[in-house]
Amino acid sequence: MSTATCLARLPIGIAFLALIPAAAPSAAFAARDAFKVAPGPAAMSDEEKAIQPDPARGAEHGVILVEETDRNDNLGRWMEISFHQRAKILSNEGRRLADITIPFDIDADQLSQWWARIILPDGKVIEVPKEELTEQAVVKTRGEEYKTLKVALPGVVPGAVIDYGFTLRTMEFLEPDTVWLQREWPVQLLRYRWAPYARLASGYLCRRIAGLDVTPTVKDGKVVIEARDIRPVPDEPMMPPRAESKASAVFYYHPSELYAEEYWDAIAKLVELENGFFLSKAAVNELVERAAPPAGEAVTPKLQAVYDWLGANIEDVTTRTMEAEELAGRAKDRREEDTARFVMQKRRGETFQIAQLFVGAARKLGSEAWIALAADRTENYFNRALLSLRQFEWTLVAVRAPDGPQDRFVILAPGSGLPYGELPWWLTGVDVLVAAKEGPLPVRVPASEAPDSVGTTQAKITFSPEGDTANVSWTTRGTGQHGYSRWRALRRMKPDERERKLLEICGAAGDLEISDARAEGLAEIPATERISCTGELLAANVEAGIARYSFAIGGPWIPALPDLHPGPRRFPVVFDFPSTERTTIEVEAPEGFEPDEAPPAARLGTVYGSYALTVTRTEHGFRVERELVLPRPHVPAENYTGLVGFLDHVRRGDATMLPFQRKAEGR
């Protein structure tokens, strides 16, 4: 998915790894230029008066007319922040804009400037002096107190304009943050200026600003972002993560003055250095010996053996079962060391430690192997222009074995519980950063294929003799990514939590009483999940005297479809992973009934997927066989209508009713 970004490394002076307080603030503190945060006019303009609620354009409760922030980190011991917001209130719900909290730990005497005014629809102006600010203690600890300043602006009614701002100085270092340009309210003008501390390397990055009126400029060591007429963007189901769908500007410091290539080069070197500290010859030798790789020249089978041994014998503490965690928690020896020797000795480690161990063993076996850093794509994608390690959540391994493809890496996830070559789905479909010898390389990790992630469900439904209820039972097994994240989550739950979650998975509700819900295979590696559900449908509605009876095949034994419905779509639809679902349902005829003619088969194949439903009459009832394949990891917004049309076809098929007729007398 492409993006338009603005990015830059700010041309700052010599890099330092720590803050070095400078002398008293220089003339820069006193000098002001055209960007001056100041109160807005004390009267409503004609344009402001004309603004009315327009829910269709996101202006239902309020409009941000102006928001300005001027942050100066370059004042020696001080940091100065000036803020101004002017907003029009359009509804009662919008009045909450008038409950103001200054979100910093400050006292009122740290405010060098404050103003607030309310311009009522009739033109009257209410001024709110600084004395009306109330200090609200938030946390007090060890003699230090963290406070905010608050005020509820008076007299605010729909149609009013509020205009407030402040300037504060603080000696506290505040980490620069992300500024969201697209928000809950429309924004007519947003300006943000940042003067970073001169003795730290810094940078900024604009994301998702394509098509928006967003202009960044850099001058005299300061960056100014100006955004105009930004409309809110409502969330949509199955959309990319917020960081990848809504416009934002990210400001940050990083530890040295480097361009992007140099930064990632330094990171790659650091990763390798850490590997060196972690690994030891003895630990690697022990690992290789215990893995007992097959003899022969081929390296890949040896890597696989090491991979499998690690999965079976070294517990990844981030995915250990709750039972294992409890046992470990009661152990007397709670010492921890960040060394390969310790991990091998204790047979447990963090994900990144297991990855490092695998790297060591792979190299010993003759393969290239490097650490690969991965982002969780449900949170954000890896962005090379953002010089920050905070975008990564996972540590993987990239290998290039002599007997494998030489033009690309194979990315592995040791310790994940997945088979060799498979990765958690949330790390696929995007780039990872391989800390390779030739330099850090972004490598695209493809999504898995639908045939690799198969959910297979077998269900059986029988009716009570009275026909008022039906007994249902089904078992679902998954391969590949199917059920994988659920497997991870269930492992980490306590037994009672697990039981509640399983009831939920089995669709327990008032109409369907689940008497038994189990998950098997939670302790197995590779990840294996089998969910079994047994229950009773409370209202089967087989009534006395009726000649015909129809039973709907739908229920929690058929996995839920994506919650996508007709309507406009802005964002692509992002699936967790391509998948195949196969369901077989055996439905026995109610007492006194026999199956009528089976409904015709339904079949559809499109670019969005394929669906097949076959109903076969059996001696005792019907067998329903259903297959749904969703092969695409994502669907562009312009194809949304087609996708929904396909899913509606599936819904129609899943609404199939099985017809039964009462047996003739004597049968």
Partner 1 sequence: MRGRGRASAALAVLALAVLTASVTVTHAARLPDWAQPIAAAPPSIEPGISRHDGRVLFRERRIEVQPDGTWIERVRVARQALTTRAGSVAIDYFPFNDRAKIKVSRAWHQPPGERAERSGRSSQIDIVADDAFITDSKRRVVGMVDVRPGSLVFFEFEAVVEPYTLATDEIFADRGPIAVARLEIVTPPGWTLRSEWLHHAAVEPSRSGTTTTWEMRDLPDDDDPPLAPSPFETAPWLVVAFEPPAGTSTRAAPASDWPALADWFLKLAAGTDEVTPEIRAAAERATKGARTVPERIHAVARYVRDSVRYTARLVGIGGYRPERAAETLRTLHGECKAKAALTRAMLAAVDIPSYPVMVNLSHRATVAEGIALLQAFDHQIVAVPLAAGDAAAFGPAVAEGGELGRLAIVDATDEYTSIGWISDDLSGKRALIAAPARGRLVNLPGRRPQDHRVERRIAGELRSGNTVALELTTRYYGAPAVYERRRERTGAVDRRKEQEQALHEDWLDARPERYAVEAETADGAFVETLAWTMPVVQPAGTPPHLPVFAGADDGLPRPQLGKRMVPVWYDYPRQLSTEVVLRGFPKTAVPPASKAPSADGWSSTVSGSREGEEIRARWVLVLENTDYPVERFGDLKKLYGAASTASSAMISWGQ
Which residue number, 142 or 665, has a Cβ lying nearer to partner 1?
A: 142
Is 154 a binding residue for partner 1 by CB under 8 A? The answer is yes
Number of residues counted as binding partner 1 (CB under 8 A): 73
**Alpha carbons 187 and 578: distance in angstroms, whole number:** 38
Helix axes 300-313, 351-364, angle to 10 degrees: 150
Contact region for partner 1 (CB under 8 A) — 338-346, 451-459, 475-483, 592-600?
592-600
Strands 348-349 and 315-316: parallel
Is 468 a binding residue for partner 1 by CB under 8 A? The answer is yes
Query: What are the angstrom distances between the C-alpha of 590 and each of 256, 546, 554?
Result: 75, 12, 17
Which residue number, 140 or 437, has a Cβ lying nearer to partner 1?
A: 140
Is 513 a binding residue for partner 1 by CB under 8 A? The answer is yes
Q: Minimal distance in Å, beta carbon 97 to partner 1?
A: 11
Is 328 a binding residue for partner 1 by CB under 8 A? The answer is yes
Contact region for partner 1 (CB under 8 A) — 245-253, 278-286, 410-418, 500-508?
500-508
| Residue corresponding to tokens 């200054």 | 102
Q: Interface residues for partner 1 in 600-619 (CB under 8 A)? A: 600, 602, 615
Residue 76, SS3 per DSSP: coil
Q: Interface residues for partner 1 in 216-245 (CB under 8 A)? A: 234
Residue 439, SS3 per DSSP: strand
Report the 10 Å Cβ neighbour count for 423.
Answer: 22
Q: Interface residues for partner 1 in 252-281 (CB under 8 A)? A: none
Q: Please name the amino acid found at residue 453.
A: S
Q: Minimal distance in Å, beta carbon 160 to partner 1?
A: 10
Q: Which phi and psi (to 5°) does residue 515 adopt?
A: -95, -25
Q: Minimal distance in Å, beta carbon 184 to partner 1?
A: 10
**Alpha carbons 412 and 248: distance in angstroms, whole number:** 32
Give Cβ neighbours of residue 570 (< 8 Å, ≥ 6 apart).
Answer: 233, 236, 637
Is 345 a binding residue for partner 1 by CB under 8 A? The answer is no
Q: Are 188 and 229 in contact (CB under 8 A)?
A: yes
Provide the edge-to-edge strand list for the sheet that holds 248-254: 6-9, 201-207, 248-254, 178-180
Give Cβ neighbours of residue 303 (< 8 Å, ≥ 6 apart).
Answer: 293, 362, 365, 367, 399, 401, 420
Sign of CA dihedral 560, 563, 566, 571: negative
Structure tokens, 356: 């490092």
Q: Minimal distance in Å, beta carbon 478 to partner 1?
A: 24
Which residue number, 8 or 322, has a Cβ lying nearer to partner 1?
A: 322
Is 508 a binding residue for partner 1 by CB under 8 A? The answer is yes
Contact region for partner 1 (CB under 8 A) — 350-358, 363-371, 429-437, 596-604?
596-604
Q: Interface residues for partner 1 in 557-576 (CB under 8 A)? A: 563, 565-567
Q: Interface residues for partner 1 in 386-415 (CB under 8 A)? A: none
Which residue number, 292 or 523, has a Cβ lying nearer to partner 1?
A: 523
Is 129 a binding residue for partner 1 by CB under 8 A? The answer is no
Contact region for partner 1 (CB under 8 A) — 215-223, 408-416, 456-464, 646-654?
646-654
Contact region for partner 1 (CB under 8 A) — 79-87, 96-104, 243-251, 473-481?
96-104
Which residue number, 56 or 664, has a Cβ lying nearer to partner 1?
A: 56
Residues 288-327: x where in contact with partner 1 by CB under 8 A, - otherwise, as a string: ----------------------------------xx-xx-
Q: Minimal distance in Å, beta carbon 565 to partner 1?
A: 4
**Side-chain half-sphere exposure of 561, counting CA atoms within 13 A:** 22
**Alpha carbons 311 and 354: distance in angstroms, whole number:** 9
Structure tokens, 318: 């981030």
**Alpha carbons 193 and 211: distance in angstroms, whole number:** 22
Is 332 a binding residue for partner 1 by CB under 8 A? The answer is yes
**Alpha carbons 4 and 105: distance in angstroms, whole number:** 35
Residues 56-95: x where in contact with partner 1 by CB under 8 A, - otherwise, as a string: x---x------------------------------xxx-x
Is 103 a binding residue for partner 1 by CB under 8 A? The answer is no
Q: Interface residues for partner 1 in 529-548 (CB under 8 A)? A: 535, 538-539, 541
Structure tokens, 199: 């003795």
Q: Degrees (nearest 5) of the Cα angle 110, 116, 122? A: 175
Is 174 a binding residue for partner 1 by CB under 8 A? The answer is no
Report the 10 Å Cβ neighbour count for 485.
Answer: 17
Q: Minimal distance in Å, beta carbon 161 to partner 1?
A: 15
Which residue number, 55 or 636, has a Cβ lying nearer to partner 1?
A: 55
Contact region for partner 1 (CB under 8 A) — 53-61, 350-358, 415-423, 572-580?
53-61
Q: Which phi and psi (to 5°) does residue 271 adopt?
A: -60, -45
**Alpha carbons 474 and 463: distance in angstroms, whole number:** 15
Is 514 a binding residue for partner 1 by CB under 8 A? The answer is yes
